[in-house]
Amino acid sequence: MKVPEWALEHFLAQNYKLEGSIPHLYGGKEKGYFLSMFFSAKRSYLSNKNKELIKSVKTMASRIKNTEAFEISDKYQIRKINKEDVPQLARLYKNVFDVYPFPIFKEVYLSETMEENVIYYGVFKDNKLLAASSAELDLHNLNAEMTDFATHPDFLGRKFSYFLLKKMEKEMAFMGIKTLYTIARATSHGMNKTFGRLNYAMGGTLVNNTLIGQTIESMNVWYKNI
């Protein structure tokens, strides 16, 4: 769970474990903390091999700097995804993920979240959706989670997630959002490098946190105050 600084000691006293933090998460002022409670040692166990892999991913991603001026080809268009694009969006997520912690394979769910607090963005070519991401807004606390990145398997390696993240950053800044963050699969070199390249800071690792792919995976917290 995420809690503001004033609530931290209460949860620590109830045996929650501190796993990460983000400065200025609440209203651009108050620090936020990520906490977990494990009901067994097995649930919180990470093998030495997994620990070393996560460490290497974090180290590599943290050292990357945005020194290259990547430019997206004119044949691709990056824009907000609208209701008419929802069938394509659901199909894209089905092609990319076997399992996901939210029902993003369902058109109804995607449409409902669009009406609530999520803005989806896509990379299109000839009106065909090739990659997508989303910004989950907390307008009260002026933060947004940059999430749901997916690229069609036939179009990997084109840095679409990088371009989507840059697009979302500009739009969030225009809307007055103060803090951006994500939780990225801790063993995924690609996504962690994307956030490191755009100067996000490491906020911690959430152990065995999210059911995605075939297993429950650990997730790295990245953040940027804008």
Enumerate the domain spans of the chain.
2-225
Distance CA 182, CA 104 (A): 17
The pair of structure tokens assigned to 8 is 């931290």
**What string of H, E and C letters represents the secondary structure of 74-93?**
CCCEEEECCHHHHHHHHHHH
Asked if residue 171 has pLDDT above 80, the reply is yes
Which residues, including other chains, have CB under 8 Å from residue 140's CB and lie 6 or more apart?
none
Asked if residue 215 has pLDDT above 70, the reply is yes
pTM of the entire structure? 0.92
Q: Residues 36, 18: contact at Cβ < 8 Å? A: no
Q: What is the pLDDT of residues 69-113, one digit of tens each?
A: 688 999 999 999 999 999 999 999 999 998 888 999 999 999 999
pLDDT of residue 78: 97
Q: What is the pLDDT of residues 29-53, one digit of tens each?
A: 999 999 999 999 999 999 999 999 9
pLDDT grade for 66, boundaries at 50, 70 and 90? low
What superfamily would CATH give domain 2-225?
A: Gcn5-related N-acetyltransferase (GNAT) (3.40.630.30)
Mean pLDDT of 47-71: 86
The pair of structure tokens assigned to 221 is 């917290």
118-125/128-138 β-pairing: antiparallel
Question: How would DSSP label each residue in 94-119?
Answer: HHH-S--SS-TT-HHHHHHHHHHTEE
